[in-house]
Amino acid sequence: MTHRLQSLRRFRFNRPQRIAAALLGLFLLQGFWVVSRQTLSDRDYQYARCGRETWEKPSPLAGYYTSCGNIRDGILAYRIAGLPLTLNLLVERGLDRVRKPEDRVVQEGGELSTWELRHQMTHILLLLRLPFLFAGFLLGGCIWWVTRRLYGNLGGYTALALYCFSPAVLRACLSPNSEVLAALGVYGGVYTCIGVAHAMQGPRRKPGPPSTGLRCWGGKWRPRIVLLTAILGVAAAAHIVALPVTALLGLAAMLWVAEGHRSQALPVMLMASAGALAIVFACYGFSPDAASYVFRSSAGFLGLSLDPAQRFFGAFANGGITIAAGATLMLYLGTRRSRYFGNTTPLFCALFCMVLVMTGAPGSPWLWAQPFLLTFVGGVFADAYEGPRSRWALGAAAAVMALQAVLCALSLPALT
């Protein structure tokens, strides 16, 4: 308890944290503005109906997990889309005890489906989008935390500002889907793997031969492995393809960092992946048939294509990000001081995810690449800020961020 209190006392909400909070606040304001002008779509009805079925009762169709069938395109998105509606219904049921009989939402003796209360429950559209908007907010916080630790305040501001004014990210956060959840799982999983690898390099708790393995690591490895398992579980439940993608990229990063402990990297990854699959099984309500359908279907089929990258970088609304990515790539190739692990890792991850296409189920791996791309941009710009032409670099970065903010603001009406 004393250690926890000391950790709380060490937390400071100073100027860097306030600026980051302001940027994330602008991200949320853009999201709420778009939500206030949206209307419910058929996709919303599908996620709401089938998401509530995963929480409230089994499907009326024999042999299927929900009325949407055995979900294969990310059970977690349905779960978190239906959870606020189910909680809202529970609150309404509780309030019915103090309401007059004629004012009750749930009338006695009535057979209720999981979606027939849509006209009586308030703020349906906002409740459907809040979990996904919060996931985008959390992903922005992860980008800020990673880039600030790696590149300092200015590098963190650069990456976070471009993220908060990315129309592609906002679009993914403003409708029920698995993409922002998968992006959070992939990005968080890779950098948690790097954190576990750094813990392997830490001082041993007590003397002992290397063969003693995990027990000889520093005290931070246990919570990091638990966190890695949870994040891999989010990635796998968001989309089953995200688990092998994260495991492959994370294992490569661990093998790079964990010099002298590389033999332990694969067992750690296998253990965390097994825990992630257990989380997927739990998300399917421990139903063997529904969970196994994910592996029996074509949800894990992947291909390679440059079309997603061409569409993203060719979009007018992404002009600022495109300019920043091109400039930082030239600086990375032309400046030796920028070619190190902290910049190379997000670049490799971004390139890897950007060329993936899902052929068996709906999915957008190119969106998973955005956090890594912006991390790379923030890192290379941070190196330029410390170079001989730092004022030029700061001015150019400010102009690019302002341009992207203007383009994002212009594209908001198209997201409604």
Residues 6+ apart with CB under 8 A from 372: 187, 190, 346, 347, 349, 350, 353
Residues 6+ apart with CB under 8 A from 53: 59, 66, 67, 82, 114
Q: Looking at the structure, do residues 183 and 167 belong to the same domain, yes or no?
A: no
Does residue 8 belong to any structural domain of this protein?
A: no
Burial of 348 (0-12, 13-18, 19+ CB in 10 A): middle
Which residues, listed in sequence order, are joined to residue 333 by a DSSP beta bridge? none
Residue 51 lies in a domain: yes
pLDDT tens figures, 249-281: 999 999 998 887 888 899 999 999 999 999 999
What pLDDT is attached to residue 118? 52
Residues 274 and 311 in one domain: no
Coil, strand, or helix at residue 358?
A: strand
Profile the chain (416 residues) by mean pLDDT over runs of 10 residues: 49 86 97 92 87 77 75 89 85 76 63 50 81 96 96 96 96 94 97 89 54 48 87 95 95 89 89 95 88 82 92 95 96 91 96 92 92 97 90 94 96 91
Kindly state whether residue 34 falls inside one of the protein's structural domains: no
5 part of a folded domain = no
Residue 312 CA neighbour count, 13 Å, CB half: 26
β strands within 276-411, DSSP E: 302-304, 356-358
193 shares its domain with 152 = no
416 and 309 inside one domain: yes
The number of C-alpha atoms within 13 Å of 223 and in the hemisphere containing its C-beta is: 3
Residue pLDDT, tens place only, 109-161: 555 554 455 555 557 888 899 999 999 999 999 999 999 999 999 999 999 99
pLDDT of residue 7: 47
Residues 173 and 310 in one domain: yes
Residues 170, 266 share a domain: no
Q: Report if residue 3 sits inside a domain.
A: no
**Eight-state DSSP code of residue 11:** -
Residue 24 domain-assigned (yes or no): no
Q: What is the pLDDT of residue 10?
A: 59
Tokens 């990005």 found at: 187
- Does 346 share its domain with 409? yes
Return the CA Rg of the chain: 23
Question: How far is residue 401's CA from residue 37's CA, in Å, rounded to a whole number?
Answer: 26
Question: Is the pTM higher than 0.75?
Answer: yes
Domain presence at residue 128: no
Residue-number span of the structural domain to which 58 is assigned: 42-122
CA separation (Å) from 48 to 35, 58, 72, 123?
16, 14, 16, 13
Tokens 């985008």 -> residue: 136
The reply to whether 251 falls in a domain is: yes
The single residue listed with the structure tokens 């990091």 is: 224
Tally of structural domains, the chain: 3
Residues 182 and 166 in one domain: no
Residues 57 and 199 in one domain: no
- The answer to whether residues 80 and 144 belong to one domain is no
pLDDT at 106: 66
Q: Which residues partner with 356 through β-bridges?
A: 304
